[in-house]
Amino acid sequence: MLAAVLAGGVSRRFGTDKARFEVDGIPMVLRVANAMTAAGLDVVVIAQDRRLEDLGLRCLVEPPGERHPLRGVVHGLEHGVRVFSPCDVPFVPPEAFRLLADEGVACTDRVHPLLAHYAPERLERARELLAGNGSATKLADGVRRVTMSPAWLRNVNRRADLEAPE
């Protein structure tokens, strides 16, 4: 099954390319890709360019357009991707991806719509939401919720987030 690490953001709050930022000596994008691979998934990275290929990752380049979290999801679904994860959740273990084996979206006390397994039928809804600048959370409406540990889904938007308690 094809999986994608979403790395198309501009990392404004982080101050540098967070996909390449190392956590415990490993770039965040590789930490996520390695967990996907360990779960038995075939992995690509969806980004604005091919800048991450030097890390040994296959890249799908997003089409040009305004930045939106769903741009990479739409592009991935168009290319057969079924499982998605943002690059800035470096603590997601392989088990999390195995839990998404059937269509499902990660949740804790809230839904995490970019860590999900979407069926091909979600493509049209994703396109509609992207065209209307809609919320990625709306894409997860009606999708099975998969409860995961909050420690797994710790999002790293700022360097200080790495210092947050686990």
Model confidence over 22-56: pLDDT tens digits?
A: 888 999 999 999 999 999 999 999 998 898 899 99
With CA atoms as reference, report the closest residue to 90 among 160, 145, 35: 35
7 within 8 A of 19, measured Cβ to Cβ? yes
In a domain, 38, yes or no: yes
Round to whole Å and give the CA distance between 83 and 114: 9
What is the per-residue pLDDT for 127? 96
Say how many Å lie between the first and final Cα of the chain, rounded: 30
CATH code of the domain in which 35 resides: 3.90.550.10
What is the per-residue pLDDT for 101? 81
In a domain, 165, yes or no: no
Higher pLDDT, 159 or 147: 147
14 within 8 A of 23, measured Cβ to Cβ? no
Residue 144 binned pLDDT confidence (cut-offs 50, 70, 90): very high
- Other C-beta atoms closer than 10 Å to the C-beta of 125 total 18
What is the per-residue pLDDT for 61? 94
CA 123 → CA 69, 73, 84, 120, 162, distances in Å?
14, 8, 13, 6, 33
Q: Is 11 exposed, middle or buried (0-12, 13-18, 19+ CB in 10 A)?
A: middle
In a domain, 69, yes or no: yes
Round to whole Å and give the CA distance between 65 and 69: 12
What is the per-residue pLDDT for 118? 96
Strand pairing report for 104-107 and 2-7: unpaired
For residues 32-61, one letter each, b for 16 or more C-beta atoms within 10 angstroms of the residue's C-beta and e for the rest, the string is bbebbeebebebbbbbbeebbeeeebebbe
pLDDT (tens digit per residue) in 87-100? 999 999 999 999 99
In a domain, 112, yes or no: yes
What domain range includes position 23? Answer: 2-159
pLDDT surpassing 60 at residue 137: yes
Strand pairing report for 104-107 and 145-147: parallel
DSSP 3-state of 22: strand
Domain count, the chain: 1
At which residue do the structure tokens 């799908």 appear? 60
What is the per-residue pLDDT for 2? 96
